[in-house]
Amino acid sequence: MANPPIVDIPLLKYATSTDPDTLVINDPLDPQRSKVIIEIPATPGIKCKVISVSIPVGDSSDTLFSLQTLPSCGVNNTDWALSSNNLIGHLSGMNEDQPDNAENFLIEHMSDDKTVNTPVTITIEGSINGVIGTAVVKVTELSTTADNETYQVREYYKELTKAGKPAFYLNSFVALNPDISGHPVSAIPKMKPFQMEWQSNGDTFRIFMDGSTAPLTTTSNKYYPFPRGLTRDANFILEASKNGKILYQQLSVTCADSDFNGGYIHAAGDVTIEGYTNFNGQLTMHQPMTCNGTSTFHETMYVDKLQINDTAMAVQKLTCARGLEVSQETKLQSTTISGNLTVTGHITANGGVNRSADKETWTAPQKLDKKIKYFGTELGILPGSFHLDLV
């Protein structure tokens, strides 16, 4: 596309942008508003009487906004004001009239000396039409230098491209660092507030957290704050909907120093637990397990080999296929050990000792509170230390 003719090079500087960054053609049944933003910095050495912005409107590839909803204009500086005065009367010396298919906005400089001492932003808002193409926005200024009283017409042009309507999408579902704004993370400190954000052109969003069928939120926003933080690792499902279509994204967030409140654990590999362990449900492990802290097991426990380096308490049944090692006090109500039992402290047998092997040897003093029977005959309570061989 050839550059439009320039009457004279403008003295003011123009920075033109759009919101959204990519202008997308509209569906006539669901028009969306877009903005053309023109920023003009302060330029004390320049005087300007008037600025005109011409926006092409229509339903062709070279027009920008739709005729169905004509654009509007706003100015953020009280030194400038929208005017309904005749444009040609102000811009004497123009080479051509404004085009018929354009919506023209005239902004007059209200200061007495017309010097551009403060910045100004002009915003044009409307609905992009439904045809892909490129439209030209024209800005015209009537300006001069501070030491010259002869004003001239000067023009600035900006090409704006209209892209095709994108397909329905949902992506970039992330958790953001609570301390560093905008920084995505995969782990959050325990009970630390954080925020989830995503990118989508969907209309409605729902977020689900594992363990619940009810959504945490239903919103049109593209973010969701989680002020209470996490006490455990969590999975979130984001559902986006648009015109009857649905897309999903999953986000896994790790909680540092998380709590575990599971009812059933099944581990196929080695497990090492450094802190206090309290199991309220059944625990089955096919490989060795080491606990370095106090351990309490409330339900049936099946372990290949268990080593506990602190106090252990098993309220129900404990079954070890190969061996059990406990460094401190151990309380067991019902225990089956298929392999070896090694205890570095003492054993107190308040309910008697039954051993199915052919021979049992005690190598240290033992305390037995029950009587011992030998082939049905009571032997009585054996005082002090003893050595008993079963042949």
pLDDT of 2 higher than 60: no
pTM over cut 0.75: no
The residue among 205 and 340 whose pLDDT is bigger is: 205
Residue 314 has what pLDDT? Answer: 62
pLDDT of 160 higher than 60: yes
What are the C-alpha distances in Å from 59 to residues 64, 145, 160, 164, 189? Answer: 8, 40, 15, 14, 54
In a 3-state reduction of DSSP, which class is residue 9? coil
DSSP string, 129-154: -SS-EEEEEEEEEEEEETT----EEE
Q: Which two tokens stand for residue 32?
A: 């969306």
Contact in structure between 26 and 59 (CB atoms under 8 Å) = no
Q: pLDDT tens, 332-386?
A: 666 666 666 666 666 655 555 555 444 455 555 555 555 555 555 555 555 554 5
Q: pLDDT tens, 161-173?
A: 999 877 788 999 9
H or E element in which residue 89 lies: helix 87-90
Q: Which residue's structure tokens are 């669901």? A: 30
Residue 146 CA to residue 144 CA, distance in Å, equals 7
Mean pLDDT value of segment 121-146:
95
Residue 262 has what pLDDT? Answer: 56
Q: pLDDT tens, 278-331?
A: 666 666 767 677 776 666 666 666 666 676 766 666 656 666 666 666 666 666
pLDDT of 1 higher than 60: no
Mean pLDDT value of segment 105-120:
95
Percent of the chain with pLDDT over 90: 44
Mean pLDDT value of segment 219-241:
93
HSE, side-chain direction, 13 A CA sphere, residue 118? 12
Residue 264 has what pLDDT? Answer: 60
- Strands 340-343 and 330-337, how do they pair? unpaired
Q: Which domains does the chain have, with CATH numbers?
A: 15-163 (2.60.40.1530), 170-256 (2.60.40.2470), 265-378 (no CATH)
Among the residue ranges 1-5, 102-106, 117-121, 357-361, the one predicted with the least confidence is 1-5
Confidence of residue 228 (pLDDT cuts 50, 70, 90): confident
Q: Which two tokens stand for residue 355?
A: 């051993």
